[in-house]
A and B are shown apart, each in its own frame.
Chain A
């Protein structure tokens, strides 16, 4: 079975090619079913590989399948190879699993859209790229997938490209990602220069054996972190993610909640040995950026009115938690939170998609309310997701978030406090969202004349093909915590499973104050979550206190606007300056050479008088010169 791991990315690629050739012929819904079954088949293969890996011992869980020698150039030897080890299979499992659920959902969501087949074309291409990313044996295959998911993200965000805001959002995502990609490329150059190879095995081995200097390791880790900031939407490169909500909701669920944005976390975990031998300030920087992003995004989410934007900022915030984990040396916790986050965030996005679908594409939460009566299954699954993300036990989010905060406390209590505040805010704004959408009074008919609704507009429940994935994800959100329960070593399945990959870098906090008092911290986490829920309930349901949603928070602390103004103003002037320099100096130099030659030619042209006498004079001068030469040679020398 392990020899068939190439099937895992190949099946979505086959789906892509088939839809490319026959998409228009197949039409709706056959192209959607084809795409979903391809990803589903890939999931089945992944599960089979998973069980085969399980049957091996811990040391043997590392299988490389080389498809072909990609770049044999001098000393650089890069193969198109796939690596099946615990980390890559974990990633592949939830990419293909959640991917197939979302494909199924999209068949219902995109019903009636004229570009139905094209949507699944891009979706399959995306799953293929993501699988190349996670299953790559070396940095270059991962980078291939990295760029591929960025491109598909662009295609899918600007799917309804006739809408200008969608086209702009797609461009913004691509350009911002590109800034991060520079970091990945620099890291590849550094890695190759220091170790002579781009494969993870080679680089990590160099790090573990001490062949990699701390300086180089810090450089590689920091450069990859810059790439991760771009792809996983951390400060300062998060600005594309809220705008990416212009894409259809399945896109938001798959790409911007479950898979693409986790690529940064995956990459940092892959090179955990390198990060662990870097200078101490490197993980600290990662942790600080992560927790700062988490807090920042949480504050902004509190003031959003668009149902998807709340979830977008929530994603940024949760990704911040994952980077906090990485910075604290808690790679298992980061992966754990990534998996549980994939479950409940995809659930929440798909649920919001169901709401939007039922509300005939209305996305403003102020125009919703009391939807639990008319959309019961959606409401129920959404509530499960809400409880998971808020950190209420025994739902999945509680366990993973608590694990991260434990390690954060061991690194620095300040990080813990900021993380706790963010957790409080998370519970607060998610409760706000649930109340505004599903409870309270029905507000959808208040301004019905404005949105051109026909008189008695009534939201309706979504079709079964959309509800089934919601139910599955809800189930996973409930039991997902069982992967890594902190009680004792026997319950830590994920840690045992991931051990060969992260053992070198994982921090050991046994014996610290945090570890000894982890049950106290557990209780504190529960209390904080419940407090957040309670305060939000009081504000939005009972209306005991006024809602604090200042404009500055709604506008994202004017960070995005600030960048636009800076780039448009001084930034533009700088670029104009560079253009001027290029035109005047560089082009001027090149043109100047031409002008010089022209001038010289024009000057020399004057010598071509056409008159015999001037030519004779020239000959005479030559004779004199020769005579001087001979004279000097004969007499002086």
Chain B
């Protein structure tokens, strides 16, 4: 048993598959949830999945550029969250009972 455990080392592929699964979970969450804040959190999940795959590949390829990219992604994600939450605050301020489906002025 311990031999089996010792033998199987997670390869890059495992990490990448994990990232893919996390990405998928995030996508489903964005499409299914109606609360704008929870939708935003799911987007953060997707971003994290991408970060994960960058870091795994950086290790695999031996290129520090992957980690640099993650650095920048995190910065931009922070900025994005700030702006996004600001927008949500200004829209949802007037409406009690936040539901993203209520913003349907473009309904044709």
Contact = CB atoms under 8 A, between A and B. Distances in A.
B61 to A, nearest CB: 19
A610 B31 contact: no
Interface in A575-605: 605
Contacts of B108: 605, 608, 610
Interface string B95-108: 00000110111111
21 contacts: A608-B107, A609-B104, A609-B107, A610-B103, A610-B104, A610-B105, A610-B106, A610-B107, A611-B100, A611-B101, A611-B107, A612-B101, A612-B103, A613-B30, A613-B31, A613-B32, A613-B34, A616-B30, A616-B31, A620-B30, A620-B31
A25 interface: no
B27 interface: yes
Q: Which 3 A-B pairs have the closest CB atoms?
A: A610-B107, A608-B108, A610-B104
Contacts of A616: 30-31
A609 B32 CA distance: 15
A469 to B, nearest CB: 83
Contacts of A609: 104, 107
B27 to A, nearest CB: 6
Interface in B65-108: 100-101, 103-108
A617 interface: yes
A620 B31 CA distance: 9
Bin the interface of chain B by size. 10 to 19
Nearest to B108: A608
A616 B46 CA distance: 14
A617 B32 CA distance: 9
Contacts of A611: 100-101, 103-104, 107
A412 to B, nearest CB: 82
Nearest to A609: B107
Interface string A262-273: 000000000000
Contacts of A610: 103-108
A307 to B, nearest CB: 80
Interface in B24-68: 27, 30-32, 34
Nearest to A624: B27
Contacts of A613: 30-32, 34, 100-101
Contacts of B27: 620
A182 B27 CA distance: 74
A525 to B, nearest CB: 91
